[in-house]
Amino acid sequence: MIAFLLALLGVCLLQSAVVPRLAIGGIRPDLFLVLTFGLSLSAGPEVATVVGFLVGLYQDSLSGAPLGLNAFTLSLIGFLVSQMSRQVRTAELTGRLGLLFLAGLVSGLTTLLVLRFFQVSRPWTSTLLWTVLPGTIYTTILGAGFLAMPKPKALRRLGR
């Protein structure tokens, strides 16, 4: 649990202090998504859902998004990734990256849908093309580095 909180804190710091400097054309990678994804790969769906919810809440608190938006999305991502990790060969890096890319797209689409529900609509095509897709690609590329790193024992225990 402490390891998770430390990882969450580290991601909060990185996302708010370092990632803005890595922005390319205003597009930033989403480390909260990478964290949720990384934990969900080895965690059960219940834990992954709760982890996604908590990570999302912190992401909401650090952004201008309404509280619950990212919590909703990442809960869903956590659950789905955890479920799919049993069917996809996530032991290989390419499999994990493919799943991360898919998670990024789902996350973007879900956010768009939720925003539309609350009448905070965005133009679909341009948002998908110029925000969701580049953001997902960037997150996947950056996530490759994080996912290739050996996971600390404490975080691995969290998954069991």
Partner 1 sequence: MTRLLLRYRRGLILSSTLLLSFVLMTLQVRSQSALADLTKHILLTSVSPFLRIAAVGKAATVTLWNEYIDLRRVRLDNQLLKEETRQLRTQVGELRETALENYRLIGLLELRNRVGSEAVSAKVIGKDATNWFRTILIDRGGNEGIQRHMTVVTAEGLVGRVVDVTALAARVQLITDPESTVGVLIQRSRVAGIAAGNQEGTVQIKYLPLMADVVIGDRVVTSGMGGVFPKGIPLGRVLRSSRPTNGALFQETWVQPLTDFSRLEEVLVLRQSPANDLPWGSGERLP
| Residue 121 near partner 1 by CB under 8 A | no
Task: CB nearer to partner 1: give 55 or 142.
Answer: 55
Q: Binder to partner 1 among 93, 120, 148, 154 (CB under 8 A)?
A: 120
Q: H or E segment at 105?
A: helix 93-117
Stretch that binds partner 1, among 71-79, 88-96, 126-134, 147-155 (CB under 8 A): 71-79
Q: How far is the CB of 68 from partner 1 (least distance, A)?
A: 3
62: contact with partner 1 by CB under 8 A: yes
Contact between 76 and partner 1 by CB under 8 A: the answer reads yes
**Based on CB atoms, which residue is closest to partner 1, 49 or 107?**
49
28: its two tokens: 């930033």
The answer to whether residue 58 forms part of the interface with partner 1 (CB under 8 A) is yes
37 binds partner 1 (CB under 8 A): no
- Span of 10-18, 26-34, 35-43, 96-104 interacting with partner 1 by CB under 8 A: 10-18
